[in-house]
Amino acid sequence: MSFKFSDRLNSMSGTATREILKLTANPEIISFAGGLPATECLPVKEIEEITQEVLSGTKASNVLQYGITQGMFTLRELCTDYVKSFSINNAHPEEILIVSGGQQALDLACRVFLNKGDTILVEAPTYLAFLQIAAAYEINIIGVNSISDGLDTDDLEEKIIKYSPKLIYLVPTFSNPTGKTYPLGKRKKIAEITKKYNVIVLEDDPYSKLRFEGEEVPSIKSVGGDNIIFITSFSKIISPGLRIGLVCANAEIIRKMEICKQSADVHTSHLSQAIVKEFLSRNLIKNQIQKVRPIYKAKKEYMEQAMTKYMPKEFDFTHVEGGMFVWGEFDAPVDTQKLFPKAIEKKVAYVYGNVFYPDDSSHNTLRLNFSNATKEKIDQGIRALGELYQNEINKIKK
Amino acid sequence: MSFKFSDRLNSMSGTATREILKLTANPEIISFAGGLPATECLPVKEIEEITQEVLSGTKASNVLQYGITQGMFTLRELCTDYVKSFSINNAHPEEILIVSGGQQALDLACRVFLNKGDTILVEAPTYLAFLQIAAAYEINIIGVNSISDGLDTDDLEEKIIKYSPKLIYLVPTFSNPTGKTYPLGKRKKIAEITKKYNVIVLEDDPYSKLRFEGEEVPSIKSVGGDNIIFITSFSKIISPGLRIGLVCANAEIIRKMEICKQSADVHTSHLSQAIVKEFLSRNLIKNQIQKVRPIYKAKKEYMEQAMTKYMPKEFDFTHVEGGMFVWGEFDAPVDTQKLFPKAIEKKVAYVYGNVFYPDDSSHNTLRLNFSNATKEKIDQGIRALGELYQNEINKIKK
């Protein structure tokens, strides 16, 4: 029989990452495509110990029973403390929602604010999965220019005036895909402009604890008003497999997101919540962050060295102070999407940059993940890509 | 500042259960309102042992890393075997989707099939949370009559012809809220009618393993075509806190649901998946079902005895062979919603029946959960309700 699927699927099917990630499930492929934390950094032993205690204690059956949609109260309390490390002071547990990974928060925020036909803004380029989430709401997505230090706030204000968007989505710290971090002045400016025009800001910050150089910058939420929804995740620091993220926002927004979450999955895995709760209450997260940073720094340096050594001189990349990604760009018409199958033949994967743009532009760019591969694989993979791109440039020049 | 929320929230906010469940969080209240499994049945020890092994093994870091959206392959393989116990033979792992509890499957199915303005059918009364999930898609929900043995198939066919619905939602085994189970003949008839008119069936079956009397009945999926989407959950048998459910459907439908799930939460908690996988592969589920059944049977009997003893003669209830709920009805204009605050004063909670009807009808009905309270609380709570309702009937008769 043939099925009549909903209209929203027309804009969702056959996405690039799905195809790329399928290819990279092949263990022979060196993948710079995903956003996986370094497997060697996962705190297996700590989680094993915590879990054993959580499940052998007197409250073990609570953890296996239904919980409330907003999330365990004790975890939300600890999160009000955790967000202080993003300069968000004085958050109340009613302003916290525990979500099944940061991704769910993005989807819930779209549910809560977007009607079909609405317009939203994103920095261009932006997190690919957000483009996919938003597309399901059958809306218009407009890109705001990205300059060397992040979002172009002049372009932001122009586009707010022109399009009256409901919300703007930003990854202001170690942006996915570019790795850029907005300076404090820009954050204040964004807070000011969006408050003036009453535009909701989704501030997505999964990466800022992965800082290995430079100074921390306060979140936009910490310098902004009630229109800022702050989202972070424990996936990149503790474990993505547990699926725990959090939202910190005005209590009225949290209540609406909670209503939508109740429909979506009732509540987030109670066992995962209990594990993260213990991880925070024992302050293991501090050690974990200390452990991860030098490893990520080293991996980024391997990648920079390899790119400098093997990539054509027409290639330039962002110099990042943290996170998981660098962003590459050719000063030549090298079409990274067209060349992708050839890279796969050479057993190397990346994400071609155009998929991060709402208008599918900038075909001469790519995103490279440095957190998951070993030093040897980084060297080997970048060398193969360098050869591929050099050949292409040689052909173009002929 | 004031927030401009999406239109879909207009039909979602301030739902009855949310308010009821908040009240019943008070430990002084005897709650027959929720749908919680008996806490004493939760397999704490087994899960503790499994989890320790899962996290100390050589593959521990896999469990804490990102996984694929459709769910662990080994778990999906085991699920193709598990659904045989619902008479679904020959399912392929590509026809299985692991979800974050059965609730997520309902939401994803709505996403995949429903456009704003579409019409769907439900048995009236039906699972309250499904009414809430569906309402978020801004659709029309029409009730199909319920008769003594479940859905009225004549009314079903008439309403399919009249409304051309996209889908019908059913809980054919130990229905929530009535506890009714459709006989095999009715299941075949539903499969035949819905195939003829090309209507999707969401067959929601979280309860059928909780059978303590009578014979198992094959699922509608097992006697139907590709238009049947079968959904079950491990929440009622293993643990609701883990949030693991499964969908078994045509592979094309599964692919579309998977695309929507990727946007919703990337994948279900990997640790929860690993625990359920071990629970199935060690065949602990068989023992667990054997353990649970007599406990639920006894609780149902306590409730029946208490209702017979304390409830007015104008009260009648469904006699169920399994599940978690009985459904009560007054042959008198007793408004159970109006009386609810008085029940709370007496420290007893239930769910008034009208909220299970898409048209808010049948105010003389109520749903009672028997799985979570102790024998003493059941006796005490039903006695209090009996007095309350007898008083009301006495007033009406004056």
State the pairing for strand pair A365-369/A200-204.
unpaired
Report CB contact under 8 Å: A265, B39.
no
Nearest Cα of chain B lies from the Cα of A333 at a distance, in angstroms, of 32
Across the interface, whether the CB atoms of A13 and B256 are under 8 A apart is answered yes
Question: How high does pLDDT run on average in chain A?
Answer: 95
The pLDDT value given to residue A23: 74
User: Considering CB atoms only, which of A39, A136, A264 is closest to B104?
Assistant: A264
What integer pLDDT is reported at residue A17 of this predicted model?
Answer: 67
Low pLDDT (below 70) residues in chain A: 13-18, 21
In tens, the pLDDT along A43-74 reads 999 999 999 999 998 889 999 999 999 999 99
ipTM beyond cut 0.85:
yes
> B333: cis peptide before it, omega within 30°?
no
Instruction: For residue B225, give how far its alpha carbon lies from the nearest alpha carbon of chain A (Å).
Output: 9
Mutate to test the interface with A, among B243, B267, B276, B369 (most CBs of A within 10 A): B243
Domains and CATH numbers, chain A: 7-43+287-397 (3.90.1150.10), 44-285 (3.40.640.10)
**Confidence at residue A13, expressed as pLDDT on a 0 to 100 scale:** 59
B107 contact residues in A (CB cutoff 8 A): 263-265
Closest among B371, B375, B216 to B296, alpha carbons compared: B371
Report the first-to-last Cα separation within chain B, whole angstroms: 53
CB distance A65–B241 less than 8 Å? yes
Q: Which regions of chain A does DSSP assign to beta strands (E)?
A: 30-31, 96-99, 119-124, 140-147, 150-151, 167-170, 200-204, 228-233, 245-248, 315-317, 325-330, 348-349, 351-352, 365-369
A194 at B interface, C-beta within 8 A: no
Residue with the bigger pLDDT between B14 and A319: it is: A319
H-helix segments, chain B: 16-24, 44-56, 60-64, 73-82, 102-113, 128-135, 153-163, 184-196, 220-223, 251-265, 270-281, 284-310, 336-345, 375-397
Could you give the CA distance from residue A91 to residue A77 in angstroms, rounded to a whole number? 9
Residue B51 pLDDT: 96
Residue A119: burial class (beta carbons within 10 Å; 0-12, 13-18, 19+): middle
Confidence of residue B14 (pLDDT cuts 50, 70, 90): low
Q: What is the mean pLDDT of chain B?
A: 95
Q: Could you give the strand order of the β-sheet that contains A351-352, starting from the edge strand earlier in sequence?
A: A315-317, A325-330, A365-369, A351-352
- What's residue B395's pLDDT? 95
Give the list of residues 6+ apart from residue B345 with CB closer than 8 angstroms, or none. none
Q: How far is B270 from chain A (nearest CA, A)?
A: 5
**Which residues in chain B (115-154) have CB-CB distances under 8 A to chain A?**
115-116, 129, 132-133, 136
Note the pLDDT tens digit of each residue in B207-265. Answer: 999 999 999 999 999 999 999 999 999 999 999 999 999 999 999 999 999 999 999 99
Indicate if the pLDDT at residue B310 is higher than 70.
Answer: yes
Tokens representing residue B138 in the block: 């801004």
Closest chain B residue to A104, measured at CA: B265
What is the pLDDT at residue B13?
Answer: 59
Residue A70 sits at the chain B interface (C-beta within 8 Å): no
- Residue A119, SS3 per DSSP: strand
A chain contacts of residue B26, beta-carbon cutoff 8 Å: none
Query: Comparing B14 with A331, which gets the higher pLDDT?
Result: A331
Task: List the single range of A66-75, B57-66, B118-127, B131-140 with lowest mean pLDDT.
Answer: B57-66
Among A4, A243, A260, the strongest candidate for a mutation testing the B interface, having the largest count of B CBs within 10 A, is: A243
Answer whether B284 touches A (CB < 8 Å): no
How confident is the model at residue B178, as a pLDDT? 96
Instruction: Identify the pLDDT of residue B57.
Output: 81
- Sequential DSSP letters for A325-383: EEEEEESS---HHHHHHHHHHTTEE-EEGGGGSTT---TTEEEEE-SSS-HHHHHHHHH
Counting one residue from chain A and one from chain B, the pairs whose CB atoms sit within 8 A come to 237
pLDDT above 60: residue B90: yes
Å between A275 CA and nearest CA of chain B = 11
Nearest to A12 among B52, B66, B259 (CB): B259
Give the model's pLDDT for residue B33.
Answer: 92
> Residue A64 is nearest to which of B44, B112, B262, comparing CB atoms?
B44
What residues of B are in contact with residue A204 (Cβ under 8 Å)? none
Q: Would you state the pLDDT for residue B303? A: 98
Q: What average pLDDT does range B28-51 have in this prediction?
A: 94
Closest residue in A to B12 (Cα) is: A259
